[in-house]
Structure 1
């Protein structure tokens, strides 16, 4: 298959406008989800081009009652220092994500652990999955968590997405969404309860993906400044590239 890029990563949202500089993604079903409502620059903008894009997106979002703006920059291009200084001076938060890939047979072997059970989400355990997700999502506010319930229900009906629930000694402890395409299976929203960390649950969720999609390339995105990326590197994931983004939230 072709080389893996950020274009293989699933984006939840509709392209509502596109020009030679950027694509505008919008998702009216969940306006508070930053990763679904943003501008993706197709080339590194000048500061003047960024200012014009900011004005466009800010006005669009204000009309829809949205209090944020988010921008992503071209893959494997770091904004110039002067650009980063401009973002700092204007109260934008910025950082970068890293893209990783692995062939399933390269994932490390894991010891059996009878305390951990991994199951796809079905009608029988959907409520347990939704309750666990609410626990994860309420960190970002009650309204966000409520809207995510509707999104999780939509994903449950989407044949492209497999939701997976991990149990530790019979109690829901972690989960992952698997986004399935022709050549890849994307690990998304891998989460484990704080009280269940360091028990091997995250590894077991990943092993489930490897076992169920042995012929696909497994991909995921990790925060470039967060510790999970170090875990992925130790698990034989291969670094593919990086992508900068910035966000500003208004009161």
Structure 2
């Protein structure tokens, strides 16, 4: 398997600032998207270094009207006990992501349910796709959902992004974004509506990707605390590593 790391994962936004310790990513078009406005440490910081970085990011975000701070730590690096204790005392939310990859030939065959159909998003069904995404994004707040519409439209115009919708008996049932690179395709935002879960729709969306890009490695990131990661393991994805993340949301 080629050398695939978290560096292969797409990040909306740009590097606002960089030094020897970290990169600061910023996405002015979506200030409410935490995963695009954060600091990524190159090495595990000391407690002093973390506090300095946190002050910098908090002040930067305050100027932009942002109420959060978020940090990612280096791939496959555990945090020291002193830093962990501080993060707990300071009320940071603490979690980790896992990176997976699979060659399409290794993906298990999915039974094709007659009621399930997968379609690529085109100008003809774009409005339906945007409405589906908006309704799903509302759980993160109306501001986020509205801003995300702009990102979906941007992705629609980008030839390196493929948007897919799943239909069950003709009604929208799920979706996924595919980021196309030279040697990989990334599955992102795989979503199946609650009423249509356990019908094999997630598997069908993935199967479409495998058939559409048979020569590329398929990669994705899973939340280390969520159940989908167990599904990916059963589907023959290979676990490649982990990355810790923390965030804090301020009330003011």
| Range into which the TM-score falls when normalised by the shorter chain | over 0.9
User: Could you say what secondary structure the match of 1:190 adopts?
Assistant: strand
For residues 112 and 65 of structure 1, the distance between their equivalents in structure 2, rounded to whole angstroms, comes to 47
Q: Deviations over 1:85-111 (max 9, x none)?
A: 110100100110000000001000011
Q: By how many angstroms is 1:242 displaced?
A: 0.1
For residues 119 and 98 of structure 1, the distance between their equivalents in structure 2, rounded to whole angstroms, comes to 28
- Find out whether 1:181 has 2:185 as its counterpart: no
For residues 80 and 172 of structure 1, the distance between their equivalents in structure 2, rounded to whole angstroms, comes to 46
Alignment length, in residue pairs? 251
For residues 112 and 31 of structure 1, the distance between their equivalents in structure 2, rounded to whole angstroms, comes to 40
- The equivalent residue for 2:123 is 123
For residues 168 and 83 of structure 2, the distance between their equivalents in structure 1, rounded to whole angstroms, comes to 47
For residues 165 and 214 of structure 1, the distance between their equivalents in structure 2, rounded to whole angstroms, comes to 20
Q: Which runs of 5+ in 1 are unaligned?
A: none
- The equivalent residue for 1:14 is 14
- The equivalent residue for 1:56 is 56
For residues 28 and 112 of structure 1, the distance between their equivalents in structure 2, rounded to whole angstroms, comes to 42
For residues 141 and 9 of structure 2, the distance between their equivalents in structure 1, rounded to whole angstroms, comes to 26
For residues 25 and 112 of structure 1, the distance between their equivalents in structure 2, rounded to whole angstroms, comes to 41
Q: Deviations over 1:6-32 (max 9, x none)?
A: 111111110010000000000000101
- The equivalent residue for 1:205 is 205
- The equivalent residue for 2:69 is 69
For residues 45 and 227 of structure 1, the distance between their equivalents in structure 2, rounded to whole angstroms, comes to 30
Contact 2:112–2:204 under 8 Å retained in 1: no
- Find out whether 1:47 has 2:47 as its counterpart: yes
- The equivalent residue for 1:37 is 37
Q: By how many angstroms is 1:78 displaced?
A: 1.2
Q: TM-score, normalised by structure 2?
A: 0.98
For residues 130 and 215 of structure 1, the distance between their equivalents in structure 2, rounded to whole angstroms, comes to 30
Q: By how many angstroms is 1:2 displaced?
A: 3.7
For residues 87 and 139 of structure 1, the distance between their equivalents in structure 2, rounded to whole angstroms, comes to 26
- The equivalent residue for 2:147 is 147
- Find out whether 1:221 has 2:227 as its counterpart: no
For residues 133 and 33 of structure 1, the distance between their equivalents in structure 2, rounded to whole angstroms, comes to 15
For residues 217 and 186 of structure 2, the distance between their equivalents in structure 1, rounded to whole angstroms, comes to 8
Matching of residues 71-150 of structure 1 within 5 Å: 71-150=71-150
Q: By how many angstroms is 1:80 displaced?
A: 1.3
Q: TM-score, normalised by structure 1?
A: 0.99
Q: By how many angstroms is 1:152 displaced?
A: 0.6
Q: Deviations over 1:101-158 (max 9, x none)?
A: 0000100001121100001000001011111101110000111111111111111001
For residues 238 and 63 of structure 1, the distance between their equivalents in structure 2, rounded to whole angstroms, comes to 42
